[in-house]
């Protein structure tokens, strides 16, 4: 799936949440996610190499965890993120396969997350990252075959600016943590 993503560090989470609620949008319940980030041994961000993420997700404390393997590849020249996700039945076996493919773990990121469906192609996420002060918001838009990336990204930036948020962030959460 092709996506474009725009992130900001929120100035004030409560004010931001009120603005979203004024748009008659409701936040999801809070979920907990833990990502283990893997990259090829010769990983260089500027080379558009893929990252693999093993995600553990808990929707409720008394529920079973959901495991998924996510492949992410950011094509910097075009601003597109290629993202594929599949549910994993056996976490340990999936991690073993990742290592056998020559990937190595470079970091772990835990977060509490809520989301709002803004429209049929756009989701807003609000994240609290363990070990990082403050809150972050991320707009993700799925790109159709004929959708122009630059135009979609400008629209997402305008959305944040309309909500008085302009502290844009280009780095991934694991890069912000460091």
- Residue 57 maps to which CATH number? 2.40.320.10
> Per-residue pLDDT averaged across 69-81, rounded?
80
Q: What is the pLDDT of residue 147?
A: 77
- Find all residues with CB under 8 Å of 58, minimum gap 6, and list them: 31, 32, 33, 65, 66
> Per-residue pLDDT averaged across 160-173, rounded?
94
What's the angle, vertex CA 17, arms to CA 148 and CA 177, rounded to 5?
A: 70
* Mean pLDDT (the chain, rounded): 92
> Per-residue pLDDT averaged across 13-31, rounded?
95
pLDDT in tens, 114-140: 999 999 999 999 999 999 999 999 999
What percent of the chain has a predicted confidence (pLDDT) above 90?
Answer: 72
Provide the β-strand partners of residue 75: 80
Number of domains present in the structure of the chain: 1
Q: 7 is in which domain, residue-wise? A: 2-177
Burial of residue 146 (number of CB atoms within 10 Å: 0-12, 13-18, 19+): exposed
What token pair was written down for 97? 């396969």
By C-alpha distance, which of 148, 149, 175, 177 is closest to 46?
Answer: 175
Q: What is the pLDDT of residue 77?
A: 63
């Amino acid at each position: 799936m092709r996506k474009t993503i725009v992130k900001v560090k929120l100035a004030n989470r409560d004010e931001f949440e009120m603005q979203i609620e004024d748009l008659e949008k409701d936040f999801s319940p809070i979920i907990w996610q833990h990502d283990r980030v893997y990259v090829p041994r010769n990983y260089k961000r500027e080379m558009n190499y893929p990252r693999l993420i093993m995600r553990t997700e808990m929707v409720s404390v008394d529920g079973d965890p959901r495991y998924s393997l996510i492949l992410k590849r950011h094509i910097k020249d075009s601003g597109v993120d290629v993202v594929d996700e599949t549910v994993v039945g056996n976490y340990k076996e999936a991690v073993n396969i990742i290592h056998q493919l020559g990937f190595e773990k470079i970091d772990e990121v835990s977060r509490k997350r809520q989301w709002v469906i803004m429209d049929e192609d756009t989701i807003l996420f609000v994240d609290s990252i363990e070990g990082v002060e403050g809150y972050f918001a991320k707009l993700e838009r799925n790109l159709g075959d004929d959708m122009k990336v630059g135009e979609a990204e400008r629209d997402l930036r305008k959305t944040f600016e309309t909500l008085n948020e302009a502290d844009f962030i280009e780095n991934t959460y694991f890069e912000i943590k460091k």
